[in-house]
Amino acid sequence: MTSTPTIGVLALQGDVREHLTALAAADAAARPVRRPEELAGIDGLVIPGGESTTISKLAALFGLMEPLRAAIADGLPVYGTCAGLIMVADKILDPRSGQETFGGIDMIVRRNAFGRQNESFEAVVDVTGIDGGPVEGVFIRAPWVESVGADVEVLAEYGGHVVAVRQHRVLATSFHPELTGDHRVHELFVDGVRAAG
């Protein structure tokens, strides 16, 4: 692959523009993806936060559920943030009825785990594989990872809970790094996409 991979941002809901900006800063060619045809030609995909129940519904409506499941199973590198982490989980502990995921990481996640009382906060998180000190994570009604399978790497914990994981080419964080102007998590993902090519 060339040194500038093309990375899609799933544009059904969420911080699409901020992810496009962060990916461009991490030296990727980034573009929104809404329709199954737009999956062609991408080297990786970011799934933004938002509301996982809505993303699940919209993905089904746009005909993206099966193509994306197949692409991930086939090795497409994906980075999911917050609701995006939920979308790449093989299992949700507390799904809404009918809520589905794309899967990709052998883990069980708990939605809204950090609690409604404290719905949104920022915290510094040490992420394995990221140099130069901890990253500032923005947690917005964030999930945590309840348990992981043997092939899943835990990259970060916060408050005793797993908040960043990777399995093969799929990376996921409970927090939003696209809101801070620090692009190191996106760089970690883009480096992984280059290595996969």
Active-site residue 146, yes or no? Answer: no
Return the residues of window 51-70 that contact ligand GLN according to CB under 6 A: 51-52
Nearest partner of 171 among 131, 130, 114, judged by Cα: 130
d(CA 50, CA 56) in angstroms, rounded, equals: 11
Question: What dihedral angle (degrees, nearest 10) is formed by the CA atoms of 170, 184, 20, 177?
Answer: 80
Distance of closest approach, residue 112 Cβ to ligand GLN, in angstroms: 5
Task: Please report whether residue 50 would count as binding ligand GLN according to CB under 6 A.
Answer: yes
CB-nearest residue to ligand GLN: 49
Q: Which residues, including other chains, have CB under 8 Å from residue 69's CB and lie 6 or more apart?
A: 102, 103
What tokens does 79 get?
A: 């980075």
Return the residues of window 99-138 that contact ligand GLN according to CB under 6 A: 111-112
| Residue 148-187 contact track with ligand GLN, rule CB under 6 A, x = bound | ----------------------------------------
Q: Specify which residues 156 forms β-bridges with.
A: 164
Q: Is 75 annotated as ligand-binding? A: no
* Chain residues that interact with ligand GLN, rule: CB under 6 A: 49-52, 82-83, 86, 111-112, 140-141
Catalytic residue list: 82, 176, 178
